[in-house]
């Protein structure tokens, strides 16, 4: 029996025509059904031609198990399993966890969402395979926010992820579990993803080191996408040294991800020279708009206000870098606040079109398409859309409205405006080696109750993106460096570098880490 799609019924084509605004009579419908038969036959032949074209799985593994709540006090782990990598390498024997938006073959991956409950990938993400090649040991998947659409840690289908420093409070998101397992001491390393701050926010709120690398430095192959122009994967760890080792193991093209087409030939392969090199002579531009923020600075968005203790601790951290020989100068970034508005206009409709309406796989790009994920996502969206978090539903509804009513014009306008944000960063980075400001202007907020009114919960879930989202548009590397505590809640310094000079932000992080225990600062 031939595989592939079935021929459409008359009723199906009539419904499609109405949805597309076409006025077709019954005779027209039958004509177009006949024309569609060619497409159906092509797809049947594609199924016949399809063989095993997915990346091979190199390392043996078992299916593992869902952890017992008593062994998972912060609800950080989604699934436990062990995969031993190569016998030797720069990360030999070092354990790591993987955000549940990143595929590991044979291990369930639900991306924090009900629509992917029960999905088991058949591929390893390239970054996972490369860590295993470097000798690291996979210890399990960790929870993240529902389809990664939140900066808080309360929308995961498996329940909120609690901050190990203060369990009543958020870890930050969307890489919430990745930060929590490191902060809890379960593993020293984890993989995260970052479209608007999702590595750096939980790193700041949970007191771990987290790097959003330069755009395209790490292959995205095998990870679940939101918007191809904003997607980043990156390392999270309990030390700068481990970040550098992870980055060196994972960096470079895999030939399957078009995000890497911009990667220069002379990108760094080894990031360990950043360790111990100090910051003497380094010029730091301190972005003044990153501090002392008021609600009136964000008239179009729901970003949060600055917490004075965060400003104080971050400025003290910058003074410590000056004591080590760096120079710091306050600089002006007038587009900082408008850039946050531009970002939301891009990601709202970009995610609605690319991810939610295109079954998590998008189209019109050349690379590896995760067919099993696309199929599972599409079926799940049809069967369980009502179970999605309010964050995802709001993106779906607003994105669909903007597409129907305004034909995607505002997404297009915002994409054109991102060049202004890029130019602003590039101009400053001509004069300064790195830029600095608070990662998140305020400390972790309490985890709200699912029974709280949606509008009250919504005030928390995106408020923390105000300083992080800009460099997702520009592609510059940005690192969170833990730099202090207040009321048991960590505070983070963010350092931004020139594109593909990730080694510079690691250099700053390592120098600051050498000063002393950040918890006592």
Q: pLDDT 10s per residue in the chain (521 long)?
A: 345 788 889 999 899 889 888 999 999 999 988 888 888 888 888 887 765 677 889 999 999 999 999 999 999 999 999 999 999 999 999 999 999 999 999 999 999 999 999 999 999 999 999 999 999 999 999 999 999 999 999 999 999 999 999 999 999 999 999 999 999 999 999 999 999 999 999 999 999 999 999 999 999 999 999 999 999 999 999 999 999 999 999 999 999 999 999 999 999 999 999 999 999 999 999 999 999 999 899 888 889 999 999 999 999 999 999 999 999 999 999 999 999 999 999 999 889 988 888 899 988 999 999 999 999 999 999 999 999 999 999 999 998 899 889 999 999 999 999 999 999 999 999 999 999 999 999 999 999 988 888 888 887 788 999 999 999 999 999 999 999 999 999 999 999 999 999 999 999 999 999 999 999 99
User: What would be the CATH architecture of the domain defined by 69-276+283-520?
Assistant: Alpha-Beta Complex (3.90)
pLDDT at 83: 98
In the chain, which segments carry CATH 3.90.1300.10? 69-276+283-520
Query: Catalytic residue at 174?
Result: yes
Catalytic-role residue among 78, 99, 139, 170: 99
User: Residue 50 region, left (φ>0) first, then alpha (ψ -120 to 50), else beta?
Assistant: beta
The alpha carbon of 366 is separated from its chain's Cα centroid by a whole number of angstroms, namely: 21
Tokens of 172: 């930050």
Give the model's pLDDT for residue 51.
59
The residue with tokens 């390592």 is 510
The C-alpha atoms of residue 256 and residue 260 are separated, in whole angstroms, by: 9
As a whole number of angstroms, the distance between CA 34 and CA 236 comes to 54
- Please state the separation of Cα 192 from the chain's center in Å: 6
Task: Report the pLDDT value the prediction gives residue 440, as an integer from 0 to 100.
Answer: 98
Q: Which residues of 85-123 are buried (b: 16+ CB within 10 A; e: fewer)?
A: beeebebeebbbbbbbbbbbbbbbbbbbbbbbbebbbeb
Catalytic residue among 153, 198, 359, 389: 198
pLDDT of residue 1: 33
Instruction: Give the chain's length.
Output: 521
Q: Say which residue the tokens 């597309």 belong to.
A: 20
What's the pLDDT at 460?
A: 78
Distance from C-alpha of 114 to C-alpha of 300, rounded to nearest angstrom: 31
Could you give the CA distance from residue 278 to residue 255 in angstroms, rounded to a whole number? 35
Catalytic residue among 78, 153, 170, 174: 174
Residues sharing a CB contact under 8 Å with residue 461, sequence separation 6 or more, in sequence order: 150, 151, 152, 154, 155, 391
Helix (H) or strand (E) segment spanning residue 420:
helix 409-431
Tokens of 498: 């020139």
If you ran DSSP here, which 8-state letter would residue 493 be given? E
359-363-367-369 Cα dihedral, nearest 10 degrees: 20
- Encoding tokens for residue 465? 């993106």
Give the distance from CA 83 to its chain's centroid: 23
Answer yes or no: 214 catalytic: no
**First-to-last CA distance in the chain?**
69
Angular region, 112: left φ>0, alpha ψ -120 to 50, beta rest: left
- Per DSSP, helices labelled H in 91-211 are 126-133, 176-183, 200-206
pLDDT score, position 19: 84
Q: What is the pLDDT of residue 404?
A: 86
Are 468 and 478 a contacting pair, CB within 8 Å?
yes
198 assigned to active site:
yes
Q: Which two tokens stand for residue 67?
A: 């952890």
């Amino acid at each position: 029996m031939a595989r592939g799609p079935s021929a459409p019924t008359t009723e199906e084509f009539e419904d499609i025509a109405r949805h597309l605004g076409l006025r077709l009579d019954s005779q027209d419908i039958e004509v177009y059904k006949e024309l569609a038969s060619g497409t159906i036959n092509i797809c049947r032949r594609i199924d016949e031609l399809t063989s095993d074209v997915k990346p091979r799985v190199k390392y043996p593994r078992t299916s593992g198990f869902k952890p017992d709540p008593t062994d998972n006090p912060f609800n950080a782990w989604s699934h436990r399993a062990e995969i031993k990598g190569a016998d030797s390498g720069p990360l030999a024997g070092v354990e790591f966890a993987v955000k549940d938006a990143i595929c590991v073959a044979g291990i369930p991956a639900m991306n924090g969402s009900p629509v992917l409950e029960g999905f088991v990938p058949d591929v390893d993400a390239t970054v996972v395979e490369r860590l295993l090649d470097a000798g690291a040991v996979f210890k399990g998947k960790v929870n993240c926010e529902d389809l990664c659409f939140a900066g808080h840690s309360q929308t995961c289908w498996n329940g909120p992820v609690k901050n190990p420093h203060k369990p009543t409070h958020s870890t930050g998101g969307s890489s919430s579990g990745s930060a929590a397992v490191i902060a809890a001491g379960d593993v020293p390393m984890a993989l995260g993803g970052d479209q608007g701050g999702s590595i750096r926010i939980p790193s700041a709120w949970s007191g771990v080191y987290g790097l959003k690398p330069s755009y395209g430095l790490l292959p995205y192959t095998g990870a679940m996408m939101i918007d191809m122009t904003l997607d980043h994967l990156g390392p999270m760890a309990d030390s700068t040294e481990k970040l550098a080792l992870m980055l060196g193991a994972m960096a470079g093209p895999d030939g399957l991800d078009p995000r890497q087409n911009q990667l220069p030939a002379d990108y760094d392969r080894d990031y360990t020279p950043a360790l111990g090199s100090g910051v003497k002579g380094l010029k730091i531009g301190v972005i003044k708009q990153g501090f002392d923020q008021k609600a009136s600075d964000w008239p179009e968005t729901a970003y949060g206000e600055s917490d004075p203790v965060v400003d104080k601790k971050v400025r003290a951290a910058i003074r410590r870098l000056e004591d080590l020989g760096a120079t710091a100068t306050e600089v002006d970034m007038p587009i900082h606040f408008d850039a946050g508005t531009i970002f939301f206009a891009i990601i709202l409709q970009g995610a609605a079109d690319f991810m939610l309406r295109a079954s998590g796989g998008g189209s019109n790009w050349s690379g590896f398409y995760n067919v099993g994920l696309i199929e599972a996502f599409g079926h799940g969206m049809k069967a369980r859309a009502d179970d999605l978090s309010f964050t995802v539903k709001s993106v779906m509804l607003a994105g669909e409205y903007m597409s129907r009513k305004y034909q995607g014009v505002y997404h297009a306008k915002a994409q054109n405006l991102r060049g202004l944000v890029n130019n602003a960063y590039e101009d400053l980075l001509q004069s300064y080696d790195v830029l600095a400001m608070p990662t998140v202007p305020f400390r972790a907020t309490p985890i709200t109750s699912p029974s709280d009114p949606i509008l009250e919960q919504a005030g928390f879930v995106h408020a923390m993106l105000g300083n992080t989202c800009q460099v997702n548009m520009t592609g510059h590397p940005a690192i969170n460096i833990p730099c202090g505590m207040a009321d048991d809640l960590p505070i983070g310094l963010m350092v931004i570098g020139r594109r593909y000079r990730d080694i510079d932000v690691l250099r700053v992080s390592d120098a600051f880490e050498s000063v002393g225990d950040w918890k006592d600062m």
